Every structure is written in C-alpha cells, then in structure tokens.
Amino acid sequence: MREAVVLKGSRNGLRLVLDETADFGLVVDQLRTKLDSATNFFTAGTAVQLPPVAMVPPEKREELIRLLSGYGLACQDAVDVPPKKPAGRRERKQMNEAAPIPNGEPLLVNRTLRGGQKIVHSGSVVVNGDLNPGAAVIASGNITIRGACRGMAHAGAQGDANATVTVGRLLAGQLRIADLIVRAPDEMEAPDYPEVARIVDGAVVIEPADVKEGDVWAK
C-alpha cells in the first residue's frame, strides 16, 4: 500500500505531509493507524505543522486538527504561522530583538503550557501565555514568554550563545541559554515587569526588557 500520509521530522519539528492525490478518508485512516501504533512516541503537546491551506481545505484541516489533538498533539500552533512568510519579520519586531532569528520559522504558541507539556522547536518560540512549573520550552532560537515563566526555558539549545529569553514575569527557578544553566537565588523578589536574559561575557545576565510604547508588553 502506498503511504498517503507521512509525519516528517524536520528542522522545524514534525510536519504532516499528505499525498494530494489520495482520498481524504484514506489519509485520515492511515494517520489514525500511525498515531495508534506510536502513542508513546509522541509526547503530549508536541507540535505538528499541517500542510498549507492551499492543499487542505479548512473543513478537512479541522478534521486533522481534531484527530491530532485527540492524541495530545498540538497542531493549531503551527497553523498560526503562515507557512511561507519571509523569516517571520513580524515576530522579530515583536520580540524587540535585533538578532536575526536562526534557521526555522518562529513557533507561536497561543496558550499556557502546563506541567508536563514540552515544546521542542528549532527556531524561535513565542508563548502567548504562561509557562507553568514542570513545563518546558526548548528552542534553538530565542524564547519569548508573554505571561509568567515558572517552568524551564532553554534558548539557543543547539549552542547559539546569542539567543535570548524574554519573559513577562520571570519567576522560574532555572533558566538555560546555549550551554549555560543558571539557577535563581533561593530568596528571590518576584518582578512584575518584563525581563530579558542573555549571555554577556560568558555569564547569563538578566535585565529589564526595553519596553517601548505600542510594544507587545504594553497592554
């Protein structure tokens, strides 16, 4: 039997590739069989990028999203990122960053990540919500958490020492950038302003983020 659907691992995480000529019912059946046979392989919250809208009409897309989310896979996240945008210029501006975004599209996560949920992405990640204790974001690029960060954020996970972590409220006990791991002091004041962490001279430095009028942080 020819494979009508393939889950491809790429630099940008998992990508769903469909055979355009195959019957959609067959695609769904094969996808279900695949997911059933590998339930333990996919961690809940793993992001899957869907094929572009041109290939899959909205109602079929809905069905795919429903099916994938039934297995704990988050696909709406990848959908939020238009597939063919020049290196996510909008996100870069939003993150208030001069540094170019390394390979891979930025991933926009429009929800709070709860304990046990983990997002691994090669590229930058923007979380429109909190990062709760026990949740993790591992990105080869920059990380932006617009809410409170109590979980683990690892920016530049593939060694990019220029990566930054920008956080609405930094309450995490630990932060990782490239191959550096820093631990918060045991007695920590809880800040209520956005902060950015970056590596300066081989040490992680955390300072208030540069907030401008009309910025994402200004509510």
Partner 1 sequence: MGEVGEVIVVTSGKGGVGKTTTTANLGTGFALMGKRVVLVDADIGLRNLDVVMGLENRIVYDLVDVTDGNCRLKQALIRDKRYETLYLLPAAQTRDKTAVNPEQMEKLCKDLAQEFDYVLIDCPAGIEQGFKNAIAGADRAVIVTTPEVSAVRDADRIIGLLESEGKHNPRLIVNRIRPLMVKKGDMMNIEDIQEILAVELIGIIPEDEYIVISTNRGEPAVVNPTSAASQAYKNIVRRLMGEEDLPLMALECNDGIWYRLKKVFGF
Q: Which stretch binds partner 1 (CB under 8 A): 19-27, 66-74, 102-110, 193-201?
A: 66-74
Closer CB to partner 1, 69 or 158, in the complex: 69
Q: Are strands 107-109 and 5-10 parallel, antiparallel or unpaired?
A: unpaired
> Which of residues 4 and 75 has its CB atom nearest to partner 1 in the complex?
75
Which residues, in sequence order, are CB contacts of 111 under 8 Å at separation 6+? 128, 129
Member of 15, 61, 146, 150 binding partner 1 (CB under 8 A)? 150
Whole-angstrom distance, CA of residue 74 vs CA of residue 22: 24
- Please provide residue 169's backbone torsions phi and psi, each rounded to the nearest 5 degrees: -140, 120
Q: What is the rounded CA–CA span in Å between residue 117 and residue 134?
A: 8
Distance of closest approach, residue 213 Cβ to partner 1, in angstroms: 27
Q: Report the distance separating Cα 9 and Cα 208, nearest Å.
A: 37
Near partner 1 by CB under 8 A, which window of 11-19, 64-72, 85-93, 191-199? 64-72
32 touching partner 1, by CB under 8 A: no
For CA atoms 39, 42, 44, 47, the dihedral sign is negative
* Residue of the chain from 130, 136, 155, 209 that contacts partner 1 (CB under 8 A): 130
* 132 near partner 1, judged by CB under 8 A: yes
What pairs with residue 10 in β-bridges? Answer: 13
Identified binder of partner 1 from the candidate list 30, 117, 142, 166, rule CB under 8 A: 117
Binding site for partner 1 (CB under 8 A): 44-45, 66, 69-70, 72, 74, 112-117, 130, 132-135, 148, 150
